[in-house]
Amino acid sequence: MIRCPACPADVELRAEGQSAMVACSACGTEIDVSQRPPRIIHRFNEAPRRPLLPLGSRGTLRDRDLQVIGALQRSDSKGYWHEYLLFNSSTGFCWLVYDTCHWSFGVAVEDTSQLVVNALVRYEGRGYRRFRSGTAEVDWVVGEFYWGVHRGEQVFYVDYIAPPLMLTSERARGETVWTKLEYIEPAQIDAAFGIKSPPRQWVSSNQPNPARLQLRRILPALVASCVAVAAIQIGTVLRVREVTFPSANYHFGAVNEAPEKVFGPFAFTAPHSLNEVTASAGLNNSWVELDCVLVNATTGETFEFTDAFSYYSGSDSDGSWSEGGFQNTALLADIPSGTYNLVVEGLGADQSGRPLSQPVTLSLRHDVVPWTNFWLVLLAILAYPGYLLYRGRADEKERWESATP
């Protein structure tokens, strides 16, 4: 503990013997404590700074009991960030960097011979991409530091990222210092130091991509579901009977007359089945509507459906056009086993209202593969991963928008 030479406040020294300077938290005056008696480097008389992590606060991070002993703010043309110096008497100094609501835990790179600096920096087996560079200036300082940092000091920095890691080189007065930073969740900082970090607004330089992280978390469920869906569908394809009954023709009656015709019997052998009734005809500017009833010959249970289609074509100032089609397939779902008759009443006419002269061909397929379920379930399973893929790309775009050449 020393008395500030510029104001009546006491200045606590938490790493005494290892600190080179201390900035009074009451008035901001920078004091050289490497000499006795302490000497004023720069005198200030301003309101006390209140950093997010208060000086002297303690917390446990990475299995280290750490105490905040210094804080400073740097800024460049892009914005500002805070750097906190933490101290443990056994392990020494480390850093917490707070940048736009994101935290990183940093340690100095002692052995720089392991660094291979090219367009990509390689360190400890990982490649780091150059992300940002610039000249940063110290805006203010409070607490103590092991080197003579002072307000207005400038460094040229380069950040290289390999999320969640980042390497930062800082060059000043002909000396380059490297720091290795690792992204740390704000909740961990909050729990360790008993603070409340502001909510994150965007993806930071070395933040692991949140969407891709989530994609990795759900990957086991995604793979297991896709395997299960494929197995169920293959089992269904192998199980269904797919019986195709001989096709029959339905002939239309006179104008506004819908003759009733009965086709069958059809033996539905599957306990519960999906069935297709396809009606087709060579239409030309005409329409067909068939009101159909599938009747269980034993129980009388009925399944009503409509098979309707039309085909029109012509030409106008834009050229030739056509719409509709020559057939329609009705799906009859969840039909119990039994013997069935198909009762059909149909109308069909051309543009002039004349009844169709050609018949409609009806084809019935029993116990077909329900592909609709497969595609719907696949869509349901893949929708969220698809969103995460999209979100992940958007997050990366956002991350690199804050990069500098």
Partner 1 sequence: MRWARWIYFGWCAAAVVYLLIANMRGYVPFSSSTVSHGGSHSGAGGGHGIYYHK
Identify the three-state secondary structure at position 372. Answer: helix
What is the closest distance, in whole angstroms, from the C-beta atom of residue 383 to partner 1 in the complex?
Answer: 9
Candidate residues 45, 112, 114, 302; the one interacting with partner 1 per rule CB under 8 A: 302
Closest CA to 107 of 99, 117, 97: 97
Pairwise CA distance, residues 221 & 224, whole Å: 5
Contact at 8 Å (CB) between 357 and 284? no
Write the Ramachandran bin of 262: left for phi over 0, alpha for psi from -120 to 50, otherwise beta.
beta
Tokens of 161: 């990222």
Q: Which of residues 324-363 bind partner 1 (CB under 8 A)?
A: 330-335, 339, 341, 343
User: Residue 172 interacts with partner 1 (CB under 8 A)?
Assistant: no
What is the closest distance, in whole angstroms, from the C-beta atom of residue 61 to partner 1 in the complex?
Answer: 21
Contact at 8 Å (CB) between 303 and 356? no
Distance of CA 43 to CAs 14, 21, 28, 33, 252, Å? 21, 13, 7, 14, 105
What is the closest distance, in whole angstroms, from the C-beta atom of residue 326 to partner 1 in the complex?
Answer: 18
How many residues does this entry show for the chain? 405
Closest CA to 332 of 278, 255, 397: 278
Residue 321's H or E segment, with its range, is strand 319-324
Tokens of 9: 């406040």
What is the closest distance, in whole angstroms, from the C-beta atom of residue 255 to partner 1 in the complex?
Answer: 18
Query: Residue type for 290, please?
Result: L
What is the closest distance, in whole angstroms, from the C-beta atom of residue 271 to partner 1 in the complex?
Answer: 9
User: Residue 279 interacts with partner 1 (CB under 8 A)?
Assistant: no
Candidate residues 54, 186, 265, 355; the one interacting with partner 1 per rule CB under 8 A: 265
- Per-position x/- string for 175-204, each x denoting binding to partner 1 as judged by CB under 8 A, each - no binding: ------------------------------
User: Residue 234 interacts with partner 1 (CB under 8 A)?
Assistant: no
What is the closest distance, in whole angstroms, from the C-beta atom of residue 282 to partner 1 in the complex?
Answer: 23
Pairwise CA distance, residues 144 & 86, whole Å: 10
User: Residue 222 interacts with partner 1 (CB under 8 A)?
Assistant: yes
Candidate residues 10, 124, 257, 301; the one interacting with partner 1 per rule CB under 8 A: 301
Candidate residues 127, 148, 259, 282; the one interacting with partner 1 per rule CB under 8 A: 259
Candidate residues 9, 13, 297, 389; the one interacting with partner 1 per rule CB under 8 A: 297
User: Residue 31 interacts with partner 1 (CB under 8 A)?
Assistant: no
Pairwise CA distance, residues 35 & 351, whole Å: 106
Candidate residues 191, 262, 267, 394; the one interacting with partner 1 per rule CB under 8 A: 262
Give me the residues that bind partner 1 (CB under 8 A), please: 210, 213-214, 217-218, 221-222, 224-225, 228-229, 232-233, 235-236, 259-265, 270, 272-275, 277, 293-307, 330-335, 339, 341, 343, 367, 370, 372-374, 376-377, 380-381, 384
